Structure 1
Amino acid sequence: MEAIVFMLIGFVTGRVFPARYKTFNERVQLLCTLVLIFLMGVGLGQRDGFFSGLFNLGVKSFLFFLIPTVLSVAAVYLLTKCFMDGAGEKGRMDAGARRREARNSDPMVFMALGALILGIGCGAVPILAYLLSPLSTHAEWLLYFLMFSVGISVGLHRGIAAGIRQYHVKILLIPVGIIAGSLAGGILCGLLMDYPVNQAISIAGGLGWYSLAGVSISNLAGAEAGSIAFLSNLMREIGAFFMIPYISRHFNVSTCIAPAAATSEDTTLPMLMRYTNEETVVLSVFNGIICSAAVPVLISLCY
């Protein structure tokens, strides 16, 4: 919730922010995003049993990431294409210049992957993890600053409110598609791997919120299910960084929100900003709030 508050403050600031500093603000967002991904890697690298868990439960976790995510993308694409005309070809054309600029200016996907791998490596070295601990401990403030910067970018864009109003209740189609696709994917994973259906649904119901899903499901269903929940939802958050650019080129921009799920209101929001448009950013924040609120409910209903 704090991140949303900082974004709103940034939005108000953006209404009077000098437009000539727009590029500088976008570079700040890029730097903050890469640092946050790096710190995510540091946290993973120093996590007890991370590497052994990654290899031992990797296949199951990967399937629990891939199938629910793909079905979410399919569901959101079909719903938005059929019922949200403004999110279709028009949205794709509006984001075209931004995507070309992002592709030509820097290889963002590879930079994100490099930051993650570097962070994991540093986290696995105790002395480096110790030296980085002050920065890791206060990473939420960097996130707040990033959200403030994103809010400025949204505030600089005129006509967003009018664009959102045209959708009315249709903006619920995105979180509904994400949740429905994820739960359907969880059921399919359970059937394919002969896994208890209620546990499979709860794992997919994490919607990318790996910390909450891992802890909650560990307490409810045991360590193995909790580890799969943690790893698969972590893969979903990381995977969103690499899926968003591809989806933005081949589907409508609203579909870019689907792999991000609950993370679309914070950690993956800068990537959405970079490859879509300001109107989609507002939709992604709304979606993130709905999905985040749904995660504990979905998990608890499975047990």
Structure 2
Amino acid sequence: MYSGLLIILLPLVIGYLLPLKSPALQRLVNHLLSWMVYVILFFMGISLAFLDNLAANLLAILRIASVSVIAILACNLIALRLLEKRRPWHHHHQQQQTLPSRLHMALESLKLLGVVVLGFLLGLSGWAFLHHAAQASEYALLLLLFLVGLQLRGSGMTLRQIVLNRRGMMVAVVVCISAFAGGILAALLLGLPVTTGLALASGYGWYSLSGILMTENFGPVIGSAAFFNDLLRELLAIMLIPLLIRQHRSSALGLCGATSMDFTLPVLQRAGGVEIVPAAIVHGFVLSLAAPVLIALFSA
């Protein structure tokens, strides 16, 4: 039953093992990765349109996403608050006045939602060739995971750098473990298998990947719920970082999940200063590496 796990992890591992030293190639990988995310989410929207009992399933998606994001974030924030009490994060940075436009960043996140909606609307046409969207997305997913592996290797993070940055590692471990508790709680509240709840909790805000992987393994209802669950996490992080960063620094970082090494990094840096950047990169790297592995494991 772990053949599916191997198929998912193999391109990720192969990509990570390949050295990527050329800056030009790294830029190419980043561009391809951005485009692949749009392509696969477009396919996910098409698959969603072919669901039976569409109206009922859309309500189920919203219900699962709402319950899961509340349960997971509540457990994350409780655990991070306990971490802050036991291991305070001492710093001297004063928040800058000029922050990136949170509205602009939120709209950037919502672009991917627009791609899903576009695919959904196209799928409603019922054209015969669109039935191949699910198969096409499987091949696209393998390429995406390969590119993710290349990107993680190209980030330049070494095991020594990860281990030495204790704050980034501690926050990542707390987020990872407390998310499991939230996933189990969400599964119990929703009447889902515990493994499904754990898989939902393992996206850590990486909506472009979790939605794709969950759709492949659990179908478009759970996959779409995972997408909205992690999209809401990122949107909340963008809005709450400036409010949390002074007194609850670990919570502000942990709320970002896997996106702390890329999308929400500018907000963290502007609000929390340059000193937060190493911890943010380590935190995001660890969760980015863990997300596809854990989702695949709980889906096996």
1:288 has 2:277 as partner: no
Contact 1:183-1:201 within 8 A present in 2 as well: yes
Alpha carbons of 1:42 and 1:213: their partners in 2 closer, same or farther (altered >3 Å)? closer
- Structure 2 counterpart of 1:234, which letter? S
Alpha carbons of 1:142 and 1:132: their partners in 2 closer, same or farther (altered >3 Å)? same
Alignment-derived partner of residue 149 in structure 1: 151
1:274 CA displacement: 1.6
Q: Distance in 2 between matches of 1:68 and 1:106?
A: 20
TM-score scaled by structure 1?
0.62
Contact 1:8-1:148 within 8 A present in 2 as well: yes
Alpha carbons of 1:242 and 1:81: their partners in 2 closer, same or farther (altered >3 Å)? same
Alpha carbons of 1:233 and 1:84: their partners in 2 closer, same or farther (altered >3 Å)? farther
Task: Could you tell me which runs of 5 or more consecutive residues in structure 2 were left unpaired when the two chains were aligned.
Answer: 1-8, 201-209, 242-251, 266-279
Alignment-derived partner of residue 130 in structure 2: 129
Alpha carbons of 1:180 and 1:46: their partners in 2 closer, same or farther (altered >3 Å)? closer
**1:177-196, aligned counterparts within 5 Å?**
177-190=178-191
Task: Could you tell me which runs of 5 or more consecutive residues in structure 1 were left unpaired when the two chains were aligned.
Answer: 191-198, 216-229, 258-263, 298-303
Aligned residues: 253
Alpha carbons of 1:131 and 1:175: their partners in 2 closer, same or farther (altered >3 Å)? closer
Q: Deviations over 1:95-137 (max 9, x none)?
A: x9xx838976894223212222223334445366379789645
Alpha carbons of 1:54 and 1:273: their partners in 2 closer, same or farther (altered >3 Å)? farther
**1:98-137, aligned counterparts within 5 Å?**
100=100, 107-125=107-125, 126=127, 129=130, 136=137
Alignment-derived partner of residue 60 in structure 1: 60
Q: Secondary structure at the match of 1:256?
A: helix
- Structure 1 counterpart of 2:197, which letter? A
Greater alpha carbon shift after TM alignment, 236-245 vs 177-186: 236-245
Alignment-derived partner of residue 210 in structure 1: 214
Contact 1:88-1:253 within 8 A present in 2 as well: no
Contact 1:41-1:123 within 8 A present in 2 as well: no
Alignment-derived partner of residue 273 in structure 2: none
Q: Sequence identity, in percent?
A: 10
Q: Distance in 2 between matches of 1:145 and 1:49?
A: 29
1:68 CA displacement: 2.1
1:246 has 2:236 as partner: yes
1:4 has 2:4 as partner: no
Q: Deviations over 1:190-234 (max 9, x none)?
A: 4xxxxxxxx46455344255346636xxxxxxxxxxxxxx51442
CA root-mean-square deviation = 4.6
Alpha carbons of 1:60 and 1:163: their partners in 2 closer, same or farther (altered >3 Å)? same
Q: Distance in 2 between matches of 1:161 and 1:246?
A: 26
Contact 2:46-2:133 within 8 A present in 1 as well: no
Q: Deviations over 1:233-277 (max 9, x none)?
A: 4222244134314314415122222xxxxxx6xxxx6x8622134
